[in-house]
Structure 1
Amino acid sequence: MTNQDYQKILAKTYELTGQGHLEEFANYLAEDVSWTEAAGFPYAGTYIGKEAVLDNVHKRLGTEWDNYQAEPLHYAFNGQMVMVYGRYQGTHKTSQKSFQADFVHIYTFNADHKINHFIQVVDSYPVVQAMTR
């Protein structure tokens, strides 16, 4: 696969999660995907498998936030590993506070061109602040 192919796949995953199309998003994940949300982030932890990723991260984002988005801004490529720099934003449904925070996502693709490893690096402070009343 080319760098452009990987970028297209990841751009589509950001689009799908932003629209709440989680079942379609899951098609891009390996069955045994390892997904790590950063320490200090509200959904911190490492989740193994599609269902664990959806249940512990993406479904919560969809139910706890309004207009939550992860906007990819820059991509860097190293074979099957792709690093994405971008910006999160959203409004917490309970506190009604909004935030913006920079992130770096590191993806690794398997031989079937599925995401099999994800690591999040993020400035968690604005996110946590938005969740407090």
Structure 2
Amino acid sequence: MKRTLVSGVAAVILATPALAIVQERQLSADERIETVEQWYATRDYSMLADELDWRHAPGFFGGETLTTRAQVEEQLAPFYFEMFDNIAVKIEKVEASEQSVFSFGTYVFTPRNTDTIHRAPFIHVWTVDADGKLDTLVQYADTYLINRALSDARVLTSPARE
């Protein structure tokens, strides 16, 4: 009987495609949260996947979807620093579901040509691939507060982009 059981198990293993046996290791919720927190702490662009989906909130001035790490690196910082004298991302809480990591926070910023500090709440929804790279960001932000601050500062002309 023992031999039959072993033979039966061996037959199942041999009949199973190799890909089903070697499953890709999934990152734990804690590992994904740590990756997102590290991004906020370092802004290390090497943490981004080469191909990604970086979506700004609908209604966000200059908002668009970026699809490569190079676009994020070349366009994101110059765009924000042309619009703001100071901008900080204050993270209040980071949580993970089975697929996503959610960061809740507040943008604290001073638009160009003003001395006024503004605040706008946001939620960022991230995904982290199996290699530990950030491959999706969807931004939900209070665009009314952001656009009103920019309007008051008279900087609502889109910076030149190549």
Quote the residue 2:37 is aligned against. 11
Distance 1:13 1:62 in 2: 18
TM-score between both structures, scaled by the size of structure 2: 0.70
The Cα shift of 1:4 comes to: 2.7
Quote the residue 2:92 is aligned against. 73
Quote the residue 1:32 is aligned against. 51
Distance 1:9 1:59 in 2: 24
Unaligned runs of 5+ in 1: 18-24
The Cα shift of 1:89 comes to: 0.8
Unaligned runs of 5+ in 2: 1-26, 153-162
**What is the RMSD computed on CA atoms of the aligned residues?**
1.7
Aligned partner of residue 71 in structure 2, secondary structure: helix
Mapping for residues 1-133 of structure 1, pairs under 5 Å? 1-17=27-43, 25-133=44-152
Runs of 4+ in 1 over 4 A off after TM superposition: none
* Identity of matched residues, %: 21
Between Structure 1 and Structure 2, the one with more strand by share is 1
**Which AA in structure 2 matches 1:51?**
A
**CA deviation vs aligned residue, 1:41-96 (integer Å, no higher than 9, x gap):** 12311111012122332331233312311111112212341011111111012344
Aligned partner of residue 90 in structure 2, secondary structure: strand
**Which AA in structure 1 matches 2:71?**
A
Does structure 2 retain, via aligned residues, the 8 Å contact 1:87–1:102?
yes
Distance 1:62 1:114 in 2: 25
Does structure 2 retain, via aligned residues, the 8 Å contact 1:92–1:130?
yes
Aligned partner of residue 42 in structure 1, secondary structure: coil
Distance 1:36 1:107 in 2: 10
Distance 2:69 2:78 in 1: 12
Provide the aligned length of Structure 1 versus Structure 2. 126
TM-score between both structures, scaled by the size of structure 1: 0.84
Distance 1:129 1:97 in 2: 12
Does structure 2 retain, via aligned residues, the 8 Å contact 1:80–1:110?
no
Does structure 2 retain, via aligned residues, the 8 Å contact 1:34–1:117?
yes
Name the stretch that deviates more: 61-70 or 119-128: 61-70
Distance 2:37 2:78 in 1: 19
